[in-house]
Structure 1
Amino acid sequence: MLAKPLYEILPYAYMALGSSSFIALDINYAVIAATVIFILGARIYIQRSQNRRTDPARRRKPGHLPEIIYNFLPFIYLFAALSIFKFMPKDLYPLLAICLLSYGLYILVRRALYRRHRLPASPHF
């Protein structure tokens, strides 16, 4: 059993390890392994986030995207930004990468705020 602080930080650690390895390493299989680690960290984050939702399912708005793509969207933006930093020329593309990175983080923060719903207090009769 892991201590709660270590348990809570694991998905972030996986994504940070995957991101830094993706940027730093040039060997093809290392880049693939870094991508897999990033995706697994994102998957763990999504599972925990979905499990911690307290808003009723009937009040959630249906979207146009399939649920799996919707859940991974901020991580797709983050990974696209990392890919641009690594593979594209250094002219105008870093600006696009910074925009993608900022928007992906914005979505994650917004979703984190929506995962902190309060359960209604049960009436004491």
Structure 2
Amino acid sequence: MRLPTPLYESTPYLCFATCSLLAILYNQVPAMLLAALTLYLYGSALWIMRSNYRRRDRREHRLLLSQISRGNIEGYLPEWLYESLPFFYLIGGVICYTLISPPLSFISGTLLVLAGLIVLRVRIHCRHELKQSASSI
């Protein structure tokens, strides 16, 4: 079964929006919090899979991963962790907003959310730039 393109493209964002709504409506009901966390993890995994599939530098990326796995290059994070970092920043910011007392929660939560958004924006920009440069060659 194939989904229509607008629905297919908006699925991760729909998961994030529903997760946000459930988190806002969270009223000490653990099932709501669990559903929100599940939707967040599903949306972020879906976003990561699509982003990796649409990469234009897949061959270079595979070569780099093989060198890292052989131990030729040190100091790199595992790919799953690297790709998940902005989503960890975002969820960490939301957790700071909800669990820490107000003055500190606003500062730390805002910084973590901004860091997550900046990292996502940089990755989208770099992968889009690679796509444009590959098409112009």
Given the two structures, how large is their TM-score scaled by the length of structure 1? 0.86
Say which structure is richer in helix.
2
Equivalent residue number for residue 47 of structure 1: 49
What is the alpha-carbon distance in structure 2 between the residues aligned to residue 110 and residue 121 of structure 1? 21
What is the alpha-carbon distance in structure 2 between the residues aligned to residue 7 and residue 70 of structure 1? 25
What is the alpha-carbon distance in structure 1 between the residues aligned to residue 89 and residue 136 of structure 2? 38
Equivalent residue number for residue 19 of structure 2: 18
Structure 1: segments with no counterpart, 5+ residues: none
Given the two structures, how large is their TM-score scaled by the length of structure 2? 0.79
Cα offset for 1:24? 2.4
Identity of aligned residues (%): 30
> Are 1:82 and 2:94 counterparts?
yes
The number of residue pairs the alignment matches comes to: 122
> Are 1:105 and 2:117 counterparts?
yes
Cα offset for 1:2? 1.9
What is the alpha-carbon distance in structure 1 between the residues aligned to residue 104 and residue 121 of structure 2? 27
Cα offset for 1:92? 1.8
Instruction: Give the stretch that moved more between structures: 31-40 or 53-62.
Output: 53-62
What is the alpha-carbon distance in structure 2 between the residues aligned to residue 16 and residue 42 of structure 1? 12
SS at match of 1:115: helix
Equivalent residue number for residue 85 of structure 2: 73
RMSD, aligned α-carbons: 2.1
Equivalent residue number for residue 3 of structure 1: 4
Structure 2: segments with no counterpart, 5+ residues: 69-74
